[in-house]
Amino acid sequence: GQSLEQPSEVTAVEGAIVQINCTYQTSGFYGLSWYQQHDGGAPTFLSYNALDGLEETGRFSSFLSRSDSYGYLLLQELQMKDSASYFCAVSPDRDDKIIFGKGTRLHILP
Amino acid sequence: EAQVTQNPRYLITVTGKKLTVTCSQNMNHEYMSWYRQDPGLGLRQIYYSMNVEVTDKGDVPEGYKVSRKEKRNFPLILESPSPNQTSLYFCASSPSRDEQYFGPGTRLTVT
């Protein structure tokens, strides 16, 4: 089957850096996306990687290694408002289906 | 304002009573999709559409129907809802499948 694995929970301290990992096992691969979802809200798009390497958007960066079927989301200078769930998502093949991970709940301590 | 809208936002219904959840986007996106979100299971794709009159099954299509007669609208139809379809539903649209914009969600309870 096709699956994405990410930790269920991560805890970090305000002002610190945290990394959320995502490994995938899919029949094919076109790119890895990341979404943020606050409690009671809708998911919002954060970043997308199609090629190996690091993409930076402000305090958030996303990394992809296609050879390792692995990516991560890096959040720097953590703020309390970053407390949310984070989902990775992959489109595994050309029929455009999308598979999401189960999500990582990020807890931030003051 | 660019947005995806869903209606209704909350719905309580009974088993077997047909219902439709509407989804509309004003961004001229070709790709639209429906997801359900259940605790511990993340987001699971129900159906998606690459363009008008083109729809395809996601991972959990059983018990659902969709249609895409216009680019902006992508309704989700439950012909005979059952309690296991109680969930939080999201519609999303995208200029490409990899950057999706989600609607506010519809919380459905089937008793």
DSSP B22-73: EEEESS--SEEEEEEEETTTEEEEEEEEEETTEEEE-S--TT-EE--SSSSB
Residue B81: is the preceding peptide bond cis (ω within 30°)? no
For residue B30, give how far its alpha carbon lies from the nearest alpha carbon of chain A (Å): 12
Instruction: State how far the alpha carbon of B70 is from the alpha carbons of A43, A95, B45, B53, B65, in Å.
Output: 24, 21, 21, 8, 16
Taking all residues of chain B, what is their mean pLDDT, rounded to a whole number? 95
**Is A37 within 8 Å of A44 (Cβ atoms)?**
yes
Does A95 have pLDDT greater than 80?
no
A71 near B CB under 8 A: no
Q: How far apart are CA B42 and CA A95, in angstroms?
A: 21
Please give the pLDDT value at position B46.
97
pLDDT tens-digit profile of B14-48? 999 999 999 999 999 999 999 999 998 999 999 99
Q: How confident is the model at residue A94 (pLDDT cuts 50, 70, 90)?
A: low
Does B57 have pLDDT greater than 90?
yes
B95 near A CB under 8 A: no
